[in-house]
Amino acid sequence: MSSCNGDTEKGQSDRFNEKENNDSLEFVFNNFLSYLFETYFVDIQNVIQCKRNKIIGLVDQKILSSEIEEILSRNANHKLTIFKKILSLNHKMDYVQSFSIKLNTENLFNDAKDIPIAFSKREMHFYEMILKVSRMAAKKMRFSLANLLKGILENGISTMQEDLYKIRRICQSCCLK
């Protein structure tokens, strides 16, 4: 992972945490939706990068590369499903998409050994955001949103752990070759 990408992810975390105490649910919810789309976009860019053999350690490792592609594709699809479920709640959403495609997408992963770290940081931050929005929704008595997010957390954390284990195993076997 390039240092620029790491800075972007750190910046997202800082932006989310610095206003934590006095944010409205709408503000935090909008940040969550923006991060949801950003991580979806990054996952898709990573899949493209794998398909084009642009990751050191995965070049000419079609089987291992396709396993990583499958995990990242499923992960991206999961994020779209989350958004659809949120829309199905019919909450009045004043969501203004502040998502910028000006993310540093060149060389998202430089090397196969970077993939587990980048994946875990991005996904852990994603689930931390879900937890915060869920708690705020419960405090504001938006129980349908809180329950939906709680269900996503319960199912998503175990899936993320399994995916991270698979990614680590794949990337370790690539680095040994």
Q: What confidence tens digit (pLDDT) does each residue in 14-55 have?
A: 555 544 444 688 888 888 888 888 889 889 988 988 888 878
Supply the CATH number for residue 170's domain: 1.20.1260.10
Query: What is the spatial distance between Cα 50 and Cα 71, in angstroms, rounded to a whole number?
Result: 12
Asked if residue 107 has pLDDT above 50, the reply is no
Q: Which domain holds residue 144?
A: 3-176
89: its two tokens: 């709640």
Confidence (pTM): 0.75
Domain count, the chain: 1
Three-state DSSP state, 106: coil
Q: What confidence tens digit (pLDDT) does each residue in 65-101 have?
A: 889 999 999 999 999 999 888 878 766 555 545 545 4
Query: How many percent of the chain have pLDDT more than 90?
Result: 34
Query: What's residue 116's pLDDT?
Result: 92
Using alpha carbons only, give the angle 34, 36, 42 rounded to the nearest 5 degrees: 100
